[in-house]
Amino acid sequence: MIKLEGTVPNLRRLWGYLEVLKDDFTYAENEVQWLPPIQYPEKIICLGLNYYDHCEENNVSPPKNPILFAKYRNALTGHKTPILLPESSNQVDYEAELVVVLGKGGKRIPKEKAMEHVLGYTIGNDVSARDCQFPDKQWVRGKTFDTFLPLGPFIVSPDEVGDVHNLRIRLELNGQTMQDSSTSKMIFSIPEIISFISRDITLSPGDIICTGTPHGVGYFREPQIFLKEGDTVKIEIEKIGILENYCVND
């Protein structure tokens, strides 16, 4: 097993294994079932209202500190797998997000050391049942139905991504662009987020942090747009890849 602690040496070892074994473990994309690249995170920590343009469409002021909430592991699903639309909601919304995967845990991590704890980045869709989220007055139920966090397709290492705070992030619904922004519009940077969370919550290797969504979500459109059976949602983040899912009634 490749441990997440000591990220760089272990990634080098893993790359060496793959170079030796690649001929035995090469499959066509249509021959495999995609799983989330992290299946059993100890924690899934999410941020609300972390883009200036999303605050603007909400008609709210940017928060003074990161707004945190949680999803549970039952929400995880992979690339090219279905998003299950629950019977209890008629307002299922999409949210394109940059996701941080931690390779090293810790508590009270200083901002200047925070990036040393990052294993890599992937793409997430923070699917949200708005007619549960808002009436409940807190976000857990509306955010963590089964399959409400598609994740993937890959974890991309920081050296491949470069400046993670200047990446284009886009979401298409049935081929139509709904969200188109940049991670440069995040209110709190990744070092600030990791440092803030770890003041009070001990972080562990494999934890994932969803860093918030930009403007263009369906709830704040006029008219509103919500996911329905047969829809295809595609999220692309520059240098990280494309996450694609389709919607079916549960």
165: closest CA among 110, 211, 108, 104?
211
Does the pLDDT at position 71 exceed 70? yes
Asked if residue 231 is part of any domain, the answer here is yes
Contact 213, 95 (CB under 8 A): yes
CATH of the domain at 209: 3.90.850.10
Asked if residue 25 is part of any domain, the answer here is no
Asked if residue 10 is part of any domain, the answer here is no
Strand, helix or coil for residue 155: strand
Can you tell me the mean pLDDT for 196-216? 98
Q: Is 171 exposed, middle or buried (0-12, 13-18, 19+ CB in 10 A)?
A: buried
Count of structural domains within the chain:
1
Can you tell me the mean pLDDT for 185-192? 98
Helices (H), the chain: 7-21, 52-58, 130-133, 140-143, 158-161, 190-198
Q: For 9-63, what is each residue's pLDDT tens digit?
A: 666 777 777 777 767 777 888 888 999 999 999 999 999 999 999 999 999 999 9
Does the pLDDT at position 7 exceed 60? no
pTM of this structure: 0.92
Q: For 113-166, what is each residue's pLDDT tens digit?
A: 999 999 999 999 999 999 999 999 999 999 999 999 999 999 999 999 999 999
Strand, helix or coil for residue 185: helix
Q: For 86-113, what is each residue's pLDDT tens digit?
A: 999 999 999 999 999 999 999 999 999 9
Asked if residue 27 is part of any domain, the answer here is no
Asked if residue 14 is part of any domain, the answer here is no
Structural element, H or E, at residue 5 = none
Residue 67 belongs to domain spanning: 34-249
Is the peptide bond between 223 and the residue preceding it cis, with omega within 30 degrees of 0? yes
Q: Which residues contact 56 (CB under 8 A, 6 or more apart)?
A: 215
Asked if residue 17 is part of any domain, the answer here is no
CB atoms within 10 A of CB 67: 15
Does the pLDDT at position 69 exceed 60? yes
Asked if residue 75 is part of any domain, the answer here is yes
The backbone region for 20, taken as left when phi is positive above 0, alpha when psi lies in -120 to 50, beta otherwise, is alpha
Kindly report which listed range (1-15, 146-160, 190-204) carries the lowest average pLDDT score. 1-15
Task: Using pLDDT thresholds of 50, 70 and 90, give the confidence band for residue 2.
Answer: very low
Give me the sign of the Cα torsion angle 102, 236, 59, 140. Answer: negative
Kindly report the backbone phi and psi dihedral angles of residue 10, in degrees, each rounded to the nearest multiple of 5, phi listed first. Answer: -70, -35
Give the start-end residues of each E strand in 73-214: 76-77, 82-85, 92-93, 96-102, 118-125, 128-129, 149-156, 168-173, 176-182, 208-210
Kindly report the backbone phi and psi dihedral angles of residue 208, in degrees, each rounded to the nearest multiple of 5, phi listed first. Answer: -120, 145
- Which residues, in sequence order, are bridge partners of residue 237? 169, 241
Task: Using pLDDT thresholds of 50, 70 and 90, give the confidence band for residue 1.
Answer: very low
